[in-house]
Amino acid sequence: MNITVRRADMNDLEIIVEIDLLNEGYTSNDSKLTPEEVIEHSKKIHGFIVDEDKGVLIVEDQDRGTRIGYIMYRISNRDKPYPWKTAFSELDRNLFQEDGRFLEIFNLWVDSKYRRQGLATLLKKSIECEAKSYGVNLIYTHTEEENGHVIELNRKLGYQEVRRGTIWDQVVRVSLIKQV
């Protein structure tokens, strides 16, 4: 298998939106989005492709010409007020660099046919290079408490649990960080 990692471009938008709407790996309310909500969701994902403080890294199987995984992120700031509930302000300020910036992972997905082959690890290691390129030294991620395999992967890669609890709904999430 000939694997490459690259930044997403506009040619990837439709597939990223489609995969993101599958809700794999996290609790959803199972309600179908209206066409208008799908358009709004697509605009949100579009931002991850074009905004300079956001990004999506794609893993491709070059032999098959197939996208088989991605990781979506943005540069966030612990000290910035957000219009939605976050866990950042609950974390020790000393964990963050002086300007409060860090890389926040939004979504990690690997095609079910390609799982357990090191691709999530490859994406997580690639995101460390992205963090350094933005001049940030901390990566933040969270996952639902029930995703034990994701928590274990993060721990194997050097992430430390810093919080466990609800954030914006009643689902318990585990927040993890890694200094890079």
Q: Does the CA dihedral 12-18-21-24 come out positive or negative?
A: negative
What pLDDT score was predicted for residue 123?
97
Number of domains in the chain: 1
What pLDDT score was predicted for residue 30?
54
Q: Does the CA dihedral 123-52-47-140 come out positive or negative?
A: positive
What pLDDT score was predicted for residue 177?
97
What pLDDT score was predicted for residue 73?
97
Which of helix, strand or coil describes residue 134?
coil
Locus of tokens 């993890």? 176
Per-residue confidence in pLDDT tens, the chain, 180 aa: 799 999 999 999 999 998 888 765 555 555 677 888 888 889 999 999 999 999 999 999 989 989 999 999 999 999 998 888 899 888 999 999 999 999 999 999 999 899 999 999 999 999 999 999 999 999 999 999 999 999 999 999 999 999 999 988 889 999 999 999
Domain limits for position 90: 3-179
What pLDDT score was predicted for residue 89?
87
Q: How far apart are CA 174 and CA 107, in angstroms?
A: 14
116 Ramachandran zone, left/alpha/beta (phi>0; psi -120 to 50): left
Token duo for residue 6: 């690259």
Domain containing 58 — which CATH number?
3.40.630.30
Q: How far apart are CA 124 and CA 154, in angstroms?
A: 9
